[in-house]
Structure 1
Amino acid sequence: MREVLEGSHAVSEAVRLAKVQVMSAYPITPQTHIVEALSEFCAEGKMDARFICVESEHSAMAAVIGAACGGVRTFTASSSQGLALMHELLHWASAGRLPIVMAEVNRALGPGWNIWMDQTDSLAQRDTGWIQLYCEDAQEVLDTTLQAYKLAESINLPVMVVLDAFFLSHTYEPVDIPAQEAVDRFLPPLNPRIRLDTSTPFALYSMAPPAVYMEMRHDIQKAMELVPEHFDRLEHEFENIFGRRYGALDTFFCEDAEIIMVMAGTAASTCRQVVSGLRAKGEKIGLIKLKMFRPFPKKLFRKLLGNTKKVAVVDRNFSFGASGIFAQEIRAAMYNHSSRPPVFGYIAGLGGRDLTPELLEEIYYMTKNTDEPEKESIWAGLKGGFEK
């Protein structure tokens, strides 16, 4: 069934189709529409689920952690300061090996107070042990949410489905809503590996002394290393049922590209338009859309970037005192590779500022006409133009 849906409601429909049993969230713009719709589904009997109202995002994550320990399928959502408030419990979810799925709507962190698009909130949580998947459009949001449950439950790690504030969360577009029967074939009921049960009692989250703590963290990393293989397999299964797949990295005109641009989220759609226009002028440009950020797809980047001359990474985020985070990760991934093209890092579109086709084209030509990066990060689209 094809409907015109708001990006936020694409998440809500996926959660309904996944037959989630317990949800908890605290409203924060621009995430609110997701959980408003889910609370209505519960109230109207469209979902056989429990919606737990709480007083903060910290409590929302605590509630779904408790429910996941009980062996049920769970969901929550957050943004910006709300996600930051969850930080402590994100570690508890991953270290507890709980298959929680959360929708994270990228929003700038204050101050100054800003409710618009910025990836720094989710990327600030990159070391918490959560799988992170970034989405470009509403269809990908719905599909990735369904895939996230299959992935989380096969690996026993939580998954963050990330989408842009307003550009995606509050924009309407046609979305194919799959039939419940098809979703049930792809995503069977949860068969939890970890479940508190009074008939077979055991303890969770007890003291972990030096003799065991390091092995526990090693196990999380080993699970993360399995994610690419599991993700590829479930995408193949998803494609067989629904006819769509996305890939950890999505490429566009990369086969013979001399300069490849890299970005995530809705900006990739704009960049495709730019790449098509420049290709028509004879420019050898390509695009990589980054979908999977954690675990970082190092092997794929080495394969795709090994033969290109330059890489231009557009980050809608920044790690103060370092550089744009995507560019930083790509440099690290390529460091020990035999072929290391120079990585040009650009910071643009923070706080909801538009990433226009004109700006992306300027970034391309600046990269083309410069032999080596003069800085780790060049700020693009400032009021005065490019950073001097």
Structure 2
Amino acid sequence: MAEKMELNEVEVWDGNYAAAQALRQAQVDVVAAYPITPSTPIVENYGAFVANGYVDGEFVMVESEHAAMSGCVGAAAAGGRVATATSSQGFALMVEVLYQASGMRLPIVLTVVNRALASPLNVRGDHGDMYLGRDSGWIQMDAFNAQEAYDLTLMAFKIGEDINVRLPVMVHQDGFITSHTAQNIHPLIDDEAYAFVGDYKPVDEMLDFSKPVTYGAQTEEDWHYEHKAKQHRALMDSYVVIDRVFEAFEKKTGRRYNRLETYMLEDAEVAIVALGTTVETAILAAKQLREEEGIKAGIVAPRVIRPFPFNEIREALAGVKCVAAMDRSCPMGAMGMLYNEVNGALASIPADQRPLMTNFIYGLGGRDLSVKEVKRILREQKGHADVGHVTTPIQQFSGLRGPKLGFYETKRS
């Protein structure tokens, strides 16, 4: 029997420790891990919890992140509650096995501390690794601060393990800005947290020899198409369970989560769509613009990026005149992911009613995004809205030293 840890009503934790505590309270059976900055403290702290008797689980040290996710797949297929953590290049090394985990419908929880991808080498935070995994078949949720990293990690178990979902779940947080910044956290006590998550109920576990099962079967053209379509359908339909778990968590804690978070959008003429810690910066900038200049600015923040909240975004932005999609990842020859996803969501709105759209690439390799710069971006959107068309390059690199880069012409027929 694992020992309980005495927790205060308010703890001072950074995002890494908050995620580690959620793994402890969920009583994860197996964590297979390989350390990588800035996510190392998550599995390091879990290992300490195991060593000190706070978890009746196994901490498996492996030789790489590929091996870590492979170990998680094996443990989950055997019937255990399983989790791990990674960042950046470690995440990239896991990618092959991410598809295995989702295709086998194994509800593994992966806490991703987002960090830039090499080359050149960089240990600071951007969303390159987050975007790398977006088509891997995992549910993906995004924390904007340390409290949310704790809350969403607890909820990830309950969502992924639901019999109507049975899919792996990633919880993202920004490297260093969230992972290493200490904030006031309001945790649940151990019994309440575990009761919320619930006992693990294995499905088709390999160690149940009375019901033999096969994992990793080969399908080719006969059934591969149908298998992937069914997996896609399960991911798209998981929003029902996500909403239900969010509602249950609000009843338990008073903290409300939505698949799409919106701020000051009721009367907004211009808006920013953003992820991660940028959301809180953007909220402050929008408030100041409203108070100082009367610009009706709002913020849209996808809490869940897979399944992407297409319908909610379309409804939220239907009355906005101009929208800037903020992508903290270099698209390398295309528009940013958020720009493309949001444009896809708005495509069904009649052209004469559809918001204008621009794309800002920002914050790569940990480059700071200031409130001043967000206000400038929102003012620029107001200028586009006033004249009825985009007057700058549709895609810009915000905060870049040297020449301003814009790759797409803004001429409209």
Q: Distance in 2 between matches of 1:356 and 1:51?
A: 40
Identity of aligned residues (%): 38
Q: What SS does structure 2 have at the residue aligned with 1:97?
A: coil
Mapped to 2, the partners of 1:99 and 1:20 lie a distance apart of 12
After TM superposition, the structure 1 = structure 2 runs for residues 122-201 of structure 1, keeping only pairs within 5 Å, are 122-154=130-162, 155-196=165-206, 197-201=208-212
Q: Take 1:220 and 1:127, find their aligned partners in 2: how far apart are those partners?
A: 12
CA separation in 2, counterparts of 1:261 and 1:334?
Answer: 14
TM-fit CA distance, 1:386: 4.5
Match of 2:283 among 257, 272, 281: 272
**Structure 2 CA distance for aligned equivalents of residues 386 and 259 of structure 1:** 23
Cα distance 1:373–1:198, how it changes in 2: closer, same or farther (>3 A)? farther
Aligned residues: 388
1:59 paired to 2:67:
yes
Deviations 1:343-365 (A, max 9, x none): 11101111000011011111111
Q: C-alpha offsets along residues 68-116 of structure 1, whole Å, 9 cap, x if unaligned?
A: 0011100011111100001110000000000000001110011111000
SS in 1 for 2:91: helix
AA aligned opposite 2:219: A
Structure 1 spans left out of the alignment, 5+ residues: none
Cα gap change, 1:177/1:49 in structure 2, threshold over 3 Å: closer, same or farther?
Answer: same
Matched position secondary structure for 2:204: coil
Q: 1:205-232, CA deviations, whole angstroms, 9 ceiling, x for partnerless residues?
A: 1211322111111111111121221111
After the TM superposition, which residues 74-153 of structure 1 pair with which residues of structure 2 at under 5 Å, given as runs?
74-153=82-161
TM-score by length of 1: 0.97
| Residue of structure 2 in register with 1:369 after alignment | 383
Give 2:396's aligned residue.
378
For the aligned residue pairs, the C-alpha RMSD in angstroms reads: 1.2
Cα pair 2:204 2:211 within 8 Å, conserved: no
1:358 partnered with 2:369: no
Which residue is 1:45 aligned to?
Answer: 53
**TM-score normalised by the chain length of structure 2:** 0.92
Instruction: Read off the aligned partner of 1:86 and give its amino acid letter.
Output: M
- Runs of 4+ in structure 1 deviating by more than 3 angstroms, as ranges, are 373-376, 384-388
Matching of residue 72 in structure 1 with residue 91 in structure 2: no
Aligned-partner Cα distance in 2 for 1:234–1:198? 33
Q: Distance in 1 between matches of 2:211 and 2:306?
A: 34
1:385 CA displacement: 7.4
Counterpart CA distance in 2 for 1:45 and 1:12 is 15
**TM-superposition CA deviations, 1:19-59 (whole Å, max 9, x none):** 11100110000010111101100111111110000000000
Segment drifting more, 95-104 vs 197-206? 197-206
C-alpha contact 2:27 2:194 (8 A) present in aligned 1: no
Query: What is the distance in 1 between the residues matched to 2:210 and 2:259?
Result: 41
Deviations 1:241-290 (A, max 9, x none): 11112211111100000001110101111111111111112110001122
Residues 355-381 of structure 1, C-alpha deviations (whole Å, 9 max, x = no match): 110111111112222331643421110
Contact 1:248 1:290 in 2 (8 A): yes
1:356 and 1:386, CA in 2 relative to 1: closer, same or farther beyond 3 A? Answer: farther
